[in-house]
Structure 1
Amino acid sequence: MQASATADSIRANTFSPLKERTGQARVGTIGFGKIGGVQVLAPVVLALAVLLAPTAGMAQAAGGGGARPAPSAGGFAGAPMVQVPRIISPDAAPLGAATGQMAQDSGPSPAIRELMGPSGVREVAAAEVGELLRALDAALSAQDPADPALIPTQPVESGVLLELYTSQGCAACPPADALMEILAERRDVFPLALHVDYWDYLGWKDPFAMPEFTARQKNYARLRGDRTIYTPQMIIAGETEITGPSAESVDAVIRAAQAELGQVKMRLGRDDTGFRVEMSAEPPLQNGAIVQIVRYVPDSQVEILRGENAGKVMDYANVVTAWHAVAEWDGAKPMGMNVTLDGNSPAILIVQEAITGRKKPMPGAIKAAIRLQ
C-alpha cells in the first residue's frame, strides 16, 4: 500500500510578555491555505525556514557503518528555501505586523523577498508588501478571540529532538527506520523521520521525500565542516551526528543531550482557541533562535515496488510532513505566542539557535522541544 500525507496548517500569533499587547506577528498557513479569511498563494513556503538551502558544492567522506553517502552529482546546490528571518526582540513586532513599519522603513525582510521572488508569484514594491501585511494583520485581529493573558500556562519539560535522515530508496536504512519505531514509544525524546530525495533516481521515488529536508541535512553538514551526507544519519539536539545509528549509540548521546537541557524554560497552556507557548532563557542565548513547528504522521506502511528495497513492506514512525518557521526570538527577553493548529496531525514546537553563516543563518543547537497537546 502506498502511503501519502498532506501538511496541516499553522497560525501563530507572537506577543511580548508584557501585560499590554505591545506586538504580534502572525505567520498563517504555510503553503496553500488561508490566513484569517484571506486565501494565500505561497507555493514555496512549505520551505522550512529549516535553515536554508546551501549553494556551494561539497564532497568529502565521514565514516559510518551501515550507511551510504549521498551521490555527489549536483553537489550541494539545491532549490532555494525561504530565508530565515532576521533575529529580533519580541517587542519589535516580527514582520512589522503591529507597528506597520517594517516594509516602509527597510523594505521586505529576506523571508518576504524569498517568498515573492523565487516562488514565481511576483515581485512587489516594499510599500505594497507593507500594505499586504497590514491587511492580513487586520483580518486576523478581527478573528482573534483570545487575549494571550487569558490562556493560563504551566511549566513543561523539554525533550531531546532526534532527526533521522532516511530514504525508502536506501538499502542501508531499514534498521534505522525500525529503531525509530522503538524511539517513538519513549516520552523523553521526539524522534522525527525526514525523508530525503537524493536516492529517488535509483528507481523508487520516496513519497515522503522533500528537497527541503535534504537541504536541512546539508546545512548541518556544512556547519560541521563535513563534505558528504549519508543515509541513515541521525542529528541529535541539532548538534551531534550519528551515521548508521544503533540503539546503543543513540542512547549514549540522548543522555548527554538531556544534561544540556534547561537553559530555555518552556510554559504551555491550551484552551478552545488553541495553545499558548511562553519561553525564557537563563542565561540568555548566545545566538538568536528560530521557533519552528513540525507536523508528522505517527505511523505509515508502504509497499516498495522498485529500487533497492523492492518487494519490502515497510513500517515508518513519525514521518515529517511539514516544517514551519513561525517566529524569531532574540533569546534574551521572555517571549510568548499563541498557536492555532489546523488538522489532526501531531505537532512538535522547537526552539533552535540560528548560527551566523557566511551567507545565511545555519541550524544550531536545539535548546527546547515540546509536544503541542
Structure 2
Amino acid sequence: MVMASRRSLWLAALALAFSAVAGAGHASESEKMHAESQADKPLGVVELFTSQGCSSCPPADAFFAELATKDDIVALAYHVDYWDYLGWKDTLSRKENTERQYDYMRAFGSRSVYTPQAVLNGRIHVNGANRTEVDGALARMARSGEGMRVAIKVSRTSDRVIIDAGDAGTGPSDAHVVIVYFEPPQTIKIAQGENSGRKMTYWNAVTGIQTAGMWHGKAQRYELPISEIVKKGGCAVLLQSAGKDGMPGPIVGAAFIHKP
C-alpha cells in the first residue's frame, strides 16, 4: 500500500530496489569487516491498531510503550483514522494503516475492526491493553512453532543495508519481504475528543509499509541503500506470508533495521 503523497519516494526506493542474491554467506571481506550486524529470532511481532481518539486506547498505548523498549519484540503501532469523527483527528493516523487492519479482519474471518487491537505474529488478535493475553499468546506461539522461525540478520556498510534471511526449515516457505517505516517516540497533547486533555507519548507509529520482494524458503540476501534508512525515524523488516487473495498471513521472521 503506497501513500499518494509519498509515491515518488516509494518509486525511488523500488527503482533502487532490493537486489536479491541467493546464498547469504557470500559477503565480501570488506563487508564482513565493516558491517555492524544483528541476527536474531525475536520472541514475536506485536502490531497495535490504535487511535488518539479512542478512550479505550491509552492503557494499550502505555503497555505498547513497554513492549517497544524490549529487545526481543518487534513492536509497530498503526494509528487508524476511523475514530477521527469523534472530535479529534489522530495526528499519526493514516488511511493505509486502516486498510492494513481491514486486511487482517478479512484474513481472520472477522466482521469488524476495533481498537485497541493487537495482532500477534500475524496469526491471532487480542485486546491490546490486556498484557496477560499478549504475553501469554507470544509465549505459547514461541513454544508451538508459531513464533519467529526464520533468522534475519541485518548488517550495514557505508552505503547499504544488507538483509540476510535464513532457511525456512519446515513449514510455509514463501513470504513477502515487508519494510515498515515508523516515527521515533513523540509526545502529543490531545486537545479534543474522548481523550481531551491527555498528553500521550506514542512509540513506533507507522508511516509507511512497502512490500519489497519475495522470499522462497532458502537463504537469500536483499540490499537497501542506506540513504533510504537515514531519512526515516525507524525501520523494520518482516517476512510475512500471504494467502492467494493477498491477505496478510503469519509472520515468520522479523528484525529492526537500526539507523547508522
TM range, smaller chain: 0.7 to 0.9
Which residue number corresponds to residue 17 of structure 1? 22
1:187 paired to 2:75: no
Q: Give me the whole-angstrom Cα distance separating, in 1, the residues matched to 2:200 and 2:234.
A: 21
Q: Which amino acid aligns with 2:75?
A: P
Q: TM-score, normalised by structure 2?
A: 0.82
The change in CA–CA distance for 1:155 and 1:308 in structure 2 (over 3 A counts) is closer
- Residue from 296, 300, 306 that aligns with 2:192: 306
Which residue number corresponds to residue 93 of structure 1? none
Q: Give me the whole-angstrom Cα distance separating, in 2, the residues matched to 1:210 and 1:148.
A: 38
The change in CA–CA distance for 1:332 and 1:185 in structure 2 (over 3 A counts) is closer
Q: Is the 8 A contact 1:197 1:206 kept in 2?
A: yes
Counterparts of 1:224-239 in structure 2 under 5 Å?
224-239=108-123
Stretch moving more, 8-17 or 182-191: 8-17
- Residue from 336, 349, 367 that aligns with 2:237: 349
- Residue from 205, 209, 216 that aligns with 1:323: 209
- Residue from 167, 180, 194 that aligns with 1:294: 180
Counterparts of 1:51-200 in structure 2 under 5 Å?
149=28, 151-152=31-32, 156-159=39-42, 160-200=44-84
The change in CA–CA distance for 1:213 and 1:335 in structure 2 (over 3 A counts) is same
Identity, % of aligned positions: 31
Q: 1:257 deviation in Å?
A: 3.0
**Structure of higher CA gyration radius:** 1
Stretch moving more, 361-370 or 240-249: 240-249
Q: Is the 8 A contact 2:238 2:251 kept in 1?
A: yes
Q: Which amino acid aligns with 1:323?
A: I
Q: Give me the whole-angstrom Cα distance separating, in 2, the residues matched to 1:322 and 1:313.
A: 24
Q: Which amino acid aligns with 1:308?
A: E
Q: Give me the whole-angstrom Cα distance separating, in 2, the residues matched to 1:354 and 1:310.
A: 39
Q: How well do the aligned residues superpose, as a CA RMSD in angstroms?
A: 2.4
| SS at 1:305 equivalent | coil
Unaligned runs of 5+ in 1: 1-5, 20-146
Higher helix share: 2
Q: TM-score, normalised by structure 1?
A: 0.59
Q: 1:239 deviation in Å?
A: 0.7
Deviations 1:317-351 (A, max 9, x none): 1111221211122x233321111224252211111
- Residue from 129, 137, 141 that aligns with 1:257: 141
The change in CA–CA distance for 1:244 and 1:369 in structure 2 (over 3 A counts) is closer
Deviations 1:245-280 (A, max 9, x none): 322111111212333345323233211012111213
Q: 1:301 deviation in Å?
A: 0.9
Q: 1:287 deviation in Å?
A: 5.5
Figure out how many residues of one structure are paired with residues of the other and give that number: 237
Q: Give me the whole-angstrom Cα distance separating, in 1, the residues matched to 2:60 and 2:38.
A: 33
